[in-house]
Amino acid sequence: MGLSEGEESCLLLDEKLLRFMDQLELLQEKRNTLNSLIEQGWFSISKARYSMGNKQVSALQFANTMEPLVSVHVRTLDNDDVEFSTEKSPPEFSNGSVKEPILIEDIGPQEEGIRRRKKTKSDGTEKRESRGTGSEMDPEVNPVRKGGHNPHQDPLKWFGILVPQSLKQAQSSFKQVIELSAEIAALQIAVLNTRQELKHDLRNQESSDGAELNVSTGSKKEAEVPLTNKS
Amino acid sequence: MAGRGKLIAVIGDEDTVTGFLLGGIGELNKNRKPNFLVVEKDTSITEIEETFKSFLARNDIAIILINQFIAEMIRHAIDAHMQSIPAVLEIPSKEHPYDASKDSILRRAKGMFSAEDFR
């Protein structure tokens, strides 16, 4: 028992419409979660502001140098949908950015070495040696490295060293919001693509229906002619 | 790194931007251009629109988050943006809850069910 072409395309259209509805439902669900998480975040920020002081949690506290701790990887799928995946860079320096901070840190021990050894010439080679010895002998470099001003530092530290728990809660809810927003962005694109497909298919269906109708009315007329002749 | 991750930009009121920066999305690039804009009472619509357009033009931004009440101010610019990347996401703000009927994307999707679309 085979279905006609028209029926098949109707079934496909129904399927797409159902998919579209599912996507919309999922989008709404995620939106609701996002909204409540953002609300939670604001509430925690307000609590932190109440305990720290009005001006202690504001745009004025933002650092002068910032590096993103979260990045989004974009992947285009076969059906033109886009997938966004968030990636957190680790609290330590990520691979790509190791060089710069180390170069900055190296200045300290290097200068220290030169200052100590007043007798030696200040050659480039000497400098290199002193850098080597400085880093070897000095186990105290590590805490300096951690505490030094770097763009990768936790944004919580912009607001002080001992921040209230509520600010940490705000941070965690906004981290969740960021992940969720990447999912929602991908879903929005999927919704729009499905809509476009559906619209395109509907037009095709209508035009083919119209053509069939014309053909069938034409053949009817032809069929009627011999009948009238006979009579 | 083979493919460097892209950024999330945010245009919003102070608390929204502070929250997202706490989450770790903030960046100041080599030209010291931030990927965020704090909209104060005295921020002009032109400035918001220019910033939005500059975010659209940057190829290192994948998602733009914008408070819905700010999106309302530059609705024409948002509606004119048809590309999928950067994706524009409207989010609620403290004083203005999220209204799905104003969302550009949902309005486009809703268009599916109007009588004209079935013509």
Strand partners, B6: A72
**Residue B18 contacts by C-beta under 8 Å, 6 or more apart in sequence?**
A45, A57, A58, A59, A62
SS3 B58: coil
Q: ipTM score of the complex?
A: 0.89
Distance from CA of B9 to the nearest CA of A (A): 11
A:126-185 residues touching chain B, CB 8 A cutoff: 151, 155-156, 167, 170-171, 173-175, 177-178, 181-182, 184-185
pLDDT, tens digit (0-9, with 9 covering 90-100), for A31-57? 999 999 999 999 999 999 999 888 888
Domains present along chain B, CATH in parentheses: 5-108 (3.40.50.10580)
CB contact set of B105 (below 8 Å; sequence gap of 6+):
A188, A191, A192, B88, B90
Q: pTM (2 decimals)?
A: 0.75
Q: Cβ of B63 and A46 within 8 Å? A: no
Residue B95 backbone dihedrals phi, psi, to 5 degrees: -85, -20
Cα B22 from Cα B4, distance rounded (Å): 21
Instruction: Check whether A170 has a pLDDT greater than 80.
Output: yes
Contacts of A213 (CB under 8 A, 6+ apart): none
Residue B34 to residue B41: CA distance in whole angstroms: 20
Question: Look-up: residue for tokens 């745009």?
Answer: A59
Residue of A nearest to B103 (CA): A188
In whole angstroms, what is the distance from residue A219 CA to residue A210 CA? 14
Cβ contact B63–A175 (<8 Å): no
Contact check, Cβ <8 Å, B7/A198: no
pLDDT in tens, B71-96: 999 999 999 998 888 999 999 998 88
Report the Cα–Cα distance between both ends of chain A, in Å, rounded: 39
pLDDT at A225: 45
User: Would you say residue B61 has pLDDT above 80?
Assistant: yes
Q: Do A73 and B5 touch (CB under 8 A)?
A: yes
Distance of CA A120 to CAs A112, A117, A123, A130, A195, Å?
13, 6, 8, 11, 76
> How far away is chain A from the Cα of B2, in angstroms, using its nearest Cα?
10
Q: Which helix (H) or strand (E) holds A134?
A: helix A124-137
